[in-house]
Structure 1
Amino acid sequence: MSFDPDRVTTVTFDSYSTLVDVDAVEAALAAHPGVDAPEPISRTWRERSMQYTLVGNHTGTYEPFYEVNRDALEYALEAHGVEATEDEREEILSAYHELDVFDDVRGSIERLRRGGYDCYVLSNGNPEMLASMVEHAEIDDLLADTISADELETFKPDPDLYRHAAGRTGTPIEEIAHVSALWFDVQGASHAGMQGVWLDRNGTPWEPFGDEPELVCAGLEEVADRLGC
């Protein structure tokens, strides 16, 4: 299915990897004296975090996303042979409250707002995480609201979460474009009835599994372009 901008009245954004850079946690890892190579630990941390949410959806095991991240960090450090106290792990984990914001975020959302689009964040992050992210990104004045997986206690790509988001925005689901850097999030949004927009910041190949996105953009400015803003 091709992207139809004329159907879009509301834009939802994923948070992590879409608006803020999760790779920024490497600096927090590098500051720990036992870490020589932060990149593989960061990758394991992120992969385990995503795996825990997917398994949790199917086993009925729910923890707020910050707790999921805490568990995943503990595993990643141990898997890479890094010893850390609970306080040291908490210090690393706190980096999620001040992740680097991508340069195109505020300007692009401003364009969308001027173009008449309501903008929301739809994220696995629990409300406290989203509040700190929005404050750090300085986009609170541009967003209609944030929508957290914690409201349903289920994670992406559960279609109920996207339907819940449509209800929260008061928008027919087919009028929502969901923008995400995560392939499974894009597929989940499309499966639920939204138009899935994949934000491919790094020029990576699309997954051969499942449906293709309605739209692929290299950055948020291109999303605003395609919506005529």
Structure 2
Amino acid sequence: MKNIRGIVFDLYGTLYDVHSVAAACNAFHPGRGREISVVWRQKQLEYTWLRSLMGDYADFEQLTREALVFTSGQLQLSLDDAALSALCAEYLRIAPYPEVPAALARLQAIGLPLAILSNGSANSIRSVVTASGLEQRFAHLISADSVRIFKPHDKVYQLAEQQMHCDRSELLFVSSNAWDASGARHFGYPVCWINRIGNTFDELGQSPDHIVQGLDQLADWLQTRQPAA
């Protein structure tokens, strides 16, 4: 890898724990919060891929609600419109993983601009980082909304390269989602895969350049590669 001039993060499942919504789900259906969260997240992802393939774009907030409606039907839950709205609002304030706030501060101190590149809408991204008090860590919040298609399409990965005014080879892309890490690597980014729970990397013809178990390990690694600002 060349010297890194910036870091681009995925948001959902990488910096922020999508399953932090399980507690709110559990309040509506005790004992089923995690089950609801898992089905909801999987269908949310599937809808981004399917709508991209169909050329029928809808923003991430709409897909999140539609995925929850599906989940309610699939799991035979009782969720009225008010419950659906309340749970979707939880996606706007999901919690960062425990190591993330301190690790972002360390990475920012190195002097590298930090960005988020997400399938979330601009409103979703800003709401999440503001709710966690981490908005000052990021130089760029970049949404797939502007190209009306979702990752792993190249048009989305290209947005960070354009907005950060760096060649893709100079931007480290960081994701916990193996499909996303594969898409970014295919596009030409050097990639760090965060593998918190010992998953197997997807067989998509790509391999990450670096693997860590948490964002703190990425900070350790980069601090040995580049001098502090």
Give the structure-1-normalised TM-score: 0.93
What secondary structure is seen at the aligned counterpart in 2 of 1:31?
helix
Name the residue aligned to 1:206: 201
Name the residue aligned to 2:157: 162
Matches within 5 A, 1:172-191: 172-191=167-186
Name the residue aligned to 1:194: 189
Letter in 2 for 1:212: S
On the 8 A contact 2:175/2:181 being kept in 1, the answer is yes
Q: How much has 1:194 moved relative to structure 2?
A: 0.6
Q: Distance in 1 between matches of 2:134 and 2:84?
A: 29
Name the residue aligned to 1:10: 6
On the 8 A contact 1:195/1:214 being kept in 2, the answer is yes
On the 8 A contact 2:114/2:137 being kept in 1, the answer is yes
Q: Distance in 1 between matches of 2:38 and 2:100?
A: 24
Name the residue aligned to 1:25: 21
Asked if 1:222 is matched to 2:187, the reply is no
On the 8 A contact 1:21/1:102 being kept in 2, the answer is yes
Q: For 1:53-109, what per-residue CA distance to the aligned partner results, in whole angstroms no more than 9, with x for missing partners?
A: 011111111111011000000000110001211111111111112212112212112
What secondary structure is seen at the aligned counterpart in 1 of 2:91?
helix
Letter in 1 for 2:8: T
Q: How much has 1:40 moved relative to structure 2?
A: 2.1
Q: For 1:9-57, what per-residue CA distance to the aligned partner results, in whole angstroms no more than 9, with x for missing partners?
A: 110111111111111111111111x454222221111111111101111
Name the residue aligned to 2:76: 81
Matches within 5 A, 1:7-156: 7-32=3-28, 34=29, 36-156=31-151
Letter in 2 for 1:10: G
Q: How much has 1:208 moved relative to structure 2?
A: 3.2
Identity of aligned residues (%): 28
Q: Distance in 2 between matches of 1:211 and 1:145?
A: 26
What secondary structure is seen at the aligned counterpart in 2 of 1:197?
strand
Letter in 2 for 1:132: S
Q: Distance in 2 between matches of 1:202 and 1:137?
A: 23
Distance 1:36 1:113, change over 3 A: closer
On the 8 A contact 1:30/1:37 being kept in 2, the answer is yes
Q: How much has 1:226 moved relative to structure 2?
A: 1.6
On the 8 A contact 1:35/1:82 being kept in 2, the answer is no
Name the residue aligned to 2:227: none
